[in-house]
Amino acid sequence: MRVLLLCCKGFETMELSPFVDVMGWARDDFGHDVEVDLCGFAPAVASTFGVSVAMDALVDGARPEDYDALAVPGGFEEYGFYEEAYDERALGLIRAFDAARKPVASICVGALPLGKSGILAGRRATTYHLGDGSRQRQLASFGAQVVNEPVVVDGNVVTSWCPQTAPFVAFELLAMLTSREAAHEVMRAMGFSHDG
pTM: 0.96
* Mean pLDDT for all residues in the chain: 97
DSSP per residue over 18-81, as a string? HHHHHHHHHHHHH----EEEEEESSSEEE-TTS-EEE-SEEGGG--GGG-SEEEE--B-GGGTH
- Overall average pLDDT of the 136-153 stretch: 98
105 neighbors 163 (Cβ within 8 angstroms): no
* pLDDT tens digit sequence for 61-119: 999 999 999 999 999 999 999 999 999 999 999 999 999 999 999 999 999 999 999 99
Per-residue confidence (pLDDT) for residue 55, from 0 to 100:
99
CB atoms within 10 A of CB 49: 11
Q: Is residue 196 predicted with pLDDT exceeding 80? A: no
- Overall average pLDDT of the 111-137 stretch: 97
Radius of gyration of the chain (CA): 15
Residue of 73, 119, 124, 122 whose CA lies nearest to 93: 119
Three-class HEC string of 22-40: HHHHHHHHHCCCCEEEEEE
Per-residue confidence (pLDDT) for residue 195, from 0 to 100:
54
Give the homologous superfamily in CATH for domain 2-184.
Class I glutamine amidotransferase (GATase) domain (3.40.50.880)
Q: pLDDT band for 194, please (50, 70, 90 cuts).
A: low
Three-class HEC string of 172-191: HHHHHHCCHHHHHHHHHHCC
Per-residue confidence (pLDDT) for residue 193, from 0 to 100:
78
Return the bridge partners of 152, or none.
159
Phi, psi of 131 (to 5 degrees): 70, -135
> Rounded distance, CA 15 to CA 158, Å?
14
Residue of 63, 7, 6, 4 whose CA lies nearest to 36: 4
Q: Is residue 143 predicted with pLDDT exceeding 50? A: yes
